Amino acid sequence: MTVLTSRFADGLAVGAAESDLVDLAETAVRQALAGLTGPADLVCFFVCGPDPDDVTRAGMRAMSLVPGAHVIGCSATGVIGDARGVELTPSVSAWAASLGNARVGTFALETLRADDRFVVLGLPERAPDDRVAVLLADPYTFPTDAFIERSAEVLENLPIIGGLANGLQGRGSVRLFADGEVYTEGAIGVLLSGELSVATVVSQGCRPIGPTMIVTRAEDNLLLELAGQPALARLEDIVSALDEEDRDLVASGLQIGIAMDEYAERHERGDFLIRGVLGIDPEREAVAIGDVVEVGRSVRFQVRDAETADEDLYEMLDAHVESGARPDGALLFSCNGRGSAMFGSADHDALAVRDTLGPIGVAGFFAAGEVGPVGGQNHVHGFTASILVFLDT
C-alpha cells in the first residue's frame, strides 16, 4: 500500500528472515514512485537487514530504479513508512518527491584529521535561497556532534535535519547511499533550495520538574552550583518533593533542559535543549551532564516517559497545523529508543504524524541519534522525533 498525494508518496516492504532485500527495495521504491502525479526529483530510502552486503545490493537496486532523480538512503535498525514502524526485521521504506522548480543537490562528507582537529570535506556550496539540508551520518566514523554544533559557522544557520544511520551488526555495517554511490563511512545528504516551503518539528518529549535555575558555577560538563547552592543539593531538594511516580522516572533516566531563550519570562516544556544527566560527584556536590553549560545559563531538570513523549509530539504537530500551514509530505527520523521500547508499538510516531498532518507521504527510519534545530540552532538529540515537513506551495 502507498499513500497518494500530488507531490509526495511513500512505500514500505516488509519481509521475513529469509527475504531478499533487493526484492523488498524494488517493491518499496516502485510503490513510492507509483504514488506520484509528477516525475520524481528526490527519492529517499531506508534499509533494515542483517547482512551488510545484502543491504548494499538493496541500496544499489533502489538507486537504479530512478535514474532521473537524486537519491539518498541509508541502513537502519528499523524503518518507517505506510504509517507504520518496523523494527529489527528485514524491510525497506521509500519516499518519493516531485519538487517542481526546487533545486536538489546531493553531497558526501568525509573527515581528515589535521593536528588536533577534524576537517570536513565535501560541504555543498551555499546559495541565498537554500531552505534545508537532510543529513544521514555514520555515527562510528563521522563527528556528527561537533559538525552539527559548528554548522551555524560553516553553513550560515542553514537548518539541518536527519539522523544517524546504523546497521544490525553495529560498527562496520552502516551503509550510506547517494546518487549511485555507496559509502561505508562519513555522511551523505541532500541540499534543497529554491521554490520550496518547508518546516521542521523536533519533539524532545520531556516534562520539566522543579524550578528554572541559573548556573552560578560550572566546570566543563559539571554543574557545581545552581542558583547559588550546590547543584547536588538542589537536585536532591527537587527529587524529594516529587511523588513516587516521578521519582521512578528520575531513577530511570534524569534529563536536564538548557533554556534556549534566556529572555523568556517563563521556561516551560519545549523551551529547552534536552541533555542527559550522566551522574553525580558526591565529593564536589556536583551533577555531570551531557553538555558544557556556561555560567549564567538557565537550566531545569526534566523527566521523560511514554505519556509525556506522546503528549509532546501531538502538541507540537497540532500547533504546526493550527498555524495554517498545509502539510504535503514529510520525512520522519525517530530515535531507536522510542518505538516499541517507549510506547509499546513501533507505529507510534508514524501514526502521530498521520493523525495530525493527514494522509500525506511520510517515510523515515529509527535513528541512533536525531538531528534537528531547536531555538534556531542545529543540534544532535536522543529520544527525539525530528520531522521535516514539506508544505503545499
Domain ranges of the chain: 8-203+309-391, 207-303
What is the pLDDT at residue 320?
80
Whether residue 370 has pLDDT greater than 50: yes
Name the band, by pLDDT with cuts 50, 70 and 90, for residue 1. very low
CA angle, residues 382, 388, 390, in degrees to nearest 5 = 170
Sign, Cα dihedral of 280, 281, 285, 290: negative
Name the band, by pLDDT with cuts 50, 70 and 90, for residue 260. confident
Q: At what angle do helices 21-34 and 52-64 cross, to 10 degrees?
A: 30
206: how many CB neighbours lie within 10 A of its CB? 24
Residues with Cβ within 8 Å of residue 248, at least 6 apart in sequence: none
Using CA atoms, how far apart are residues 268 and 264, in angstroms rounded to an integer? 10
Whether residue 5 has pLDDT greater than 60: no
Using CA atoms, how far apart are residues 111 and 141, in angstroms rounded to an integer? 9
What is the pLDDT at residue 119?
86
pLDDT (mean) for 235-263: 90
- Per-residue pLDDT tens digits for 122-181: 999 999 999 999 999 999 999 999 999 888 888 888 999 999 999 999 999 999 999 999
- Per-residue pLDDT tens digits for 187-206: 999 999 999 999 999 999 88
Whether residue 311 has pLDDT greater than 80: yes
Name the band, by pLDDT with cuts 50, 70 and 90, for residue 4. very low
**pTM for the full predicted model:** 0.91
Closest to 386 measured CA to CA, from 346, 345, 337, 334: 334
pLDDT (mean) for 2-9: 67
Name the band, by pLDDT with cuts 50, 70 and 90, for residue 269. low
Burial 153-169 (b: 16+ CB within 10 A, else e): eebeebbbbbbbbbbbe
| Segment among 13-22, 273-282, 318-327 with least mean pLDDT | 318-327
What is the pLDDT at residue 193?
97
What is the pLDDT at residue 205?
87
123: how many CB neighbours lie within 10 A of its CB? 14
Burial 294-332 (b: 16+ CB within 10 A, else e): eeeebbbbbbbbeebbbebbeebbeebeeeeeebbbbbb
- Torsional class of 100: left (φ above 0), alpha (ψ -120 to 50), beta (otherwise): left
Q: What are phi and psi of 228, to 5 degrees?
A: 85, 5
What is the pLDDT at residue 393?
67
Q: What are phi and psi of 289, to 5 degrees?
A: -130, 170
| Segment among 56-65, 317-326, 337-346 with least mean pLDDT | 317-326
What is the pLDDT at residue 266?
61
